[in-house]
A and B are shown apart, each in its own frame.
Chain A
Amino acid sequence: GENVEQHPSTLSVQEGDSAVIKCTYSDSASNYFPWYKQELGKGPQLIIDIRSNVGEKKDQRIAVTLNKTAKHFSLHITETQPEDSAVYFCATHGAYKYIFGTGTRLKVLA
C-alpha cells in the first residue's frame, strides 16, 4: 500500500550545525509535500511545503527539495537553534488523503 518512509528516527546536532531529514514515498499520485513540526503537547505545525511542479523551496533557515523521479524529498535546516528541537513529520497528499512519515526527533544541543 501507500507509505512514506522517513529517516532518521532521531537526530542530534550541535547548535549552529545543519540538520537533514529524508523521506521516500510510494504513491505516484502524490503532488503535495508538506513538513510539520510538532512540539510536546501541541498539534503539528506546518513549517514548509512544496508542490510537485517545484524542485526546491526555501524559507529563511528551512529548505525542502523534491526529486519526483526518485520519489523522495528532504528537509534541510541550517544554523540550528535549541528551539528547533521537536519532532518533524513529512507527509504526502495524493489521490485523496495525507500519508505521514513516522517522524524524526531532532535534538539541538547547546
Chain B
Amino acid sequence: KAGVTQTPRYLIKTRGQQVTLSCSPISGHRSVSWYQQTPGQGLQFLFEYFSETQRNKGNFPGRFSGRQFSNSRSEMNVSTLELGDSALYLCASSQGLAGTDTQYFGPGTRLTVL
C-alpha cells in the first residue's frame, strides 16, 4: 500500500499570502489529522477530519482551516500568512478516529514565510 503523501514538499510564501497544502491518506483510511512542527513548539495538533467532518480542533487561530473530500483526501489552508507560520506541516491518517487506530504520518510540507 502506498503511504501518506503530501504535496507540495516545499513552499515559500511571503507575509500576507495564503497557502493550501494537500494530503492523500493511505487507501482505506478515513481519518486525517494535521500537525504543525516547529523547533520551538514541537509537534502541535491542528485538527482532525473523519468522513468529511472536522471532529477535533487544536488551539490555532481561525486563519488555519481545512477540509476533507469524499475520497478522504484533505487540504489545509492558512490565510494571511505570518512569519511564525514557517514550519513543517505534517498530516497523518488512520483507519478509524485518531487514538483508536495506528496513525501514519506523511513526509510533511516545509513552509517558509518570508
Contact = CB atoms under 8 A, between A and B. Distances in A.
Contacts of A46: 102-104
Majority DSSP secondary structure for residues of B touching A: strand
A97 B102 contact: no
Interface stretch (A12-20, A37-45, A61-69, A72-80): A37-45
Nearest to A92: B99
Interface stretch (B13-21, B40-48, B69-77, B79-87): B40-48
Contacts of B43: 44, 89, 91, 100
Contact of B56 (A34, A49, A96): A96
A97 B58 contact: yes
Contacts of B92: 43
A43 B98 contact: no
Contacts of A89: 42-43
A100 B45 CA distance: 9
Interface string B84-114: 0000001010000011001111111000000
| Range, interface on chain B | 20 to 34
Interface of B: 4, 33, 42-45, 48, 55-56, 58, 90, 92, 98-99, 102-108
21 contacts: A31-B99, A41-B107, A42-B108, A43-B4, A43-B90, A43-B92, A43-B106, A43-B107, A43-B108, A45-B105, A46-B104, A89-B43, A93-B98, A97-B48, A97-B56, A97-B58, A97-B99, A98-B98, A98-B99, A100-B44, A103-B42
Given A49-B102, A91-B43, A100-B43, 13 more contacts: A44-B105, A45-B105, A94-B99, A96-B48, A96-B55, A97-B48, A97-B56, A97-B98, A98-B33, A98-B103, A100-B42, A100-B44, A102-B42
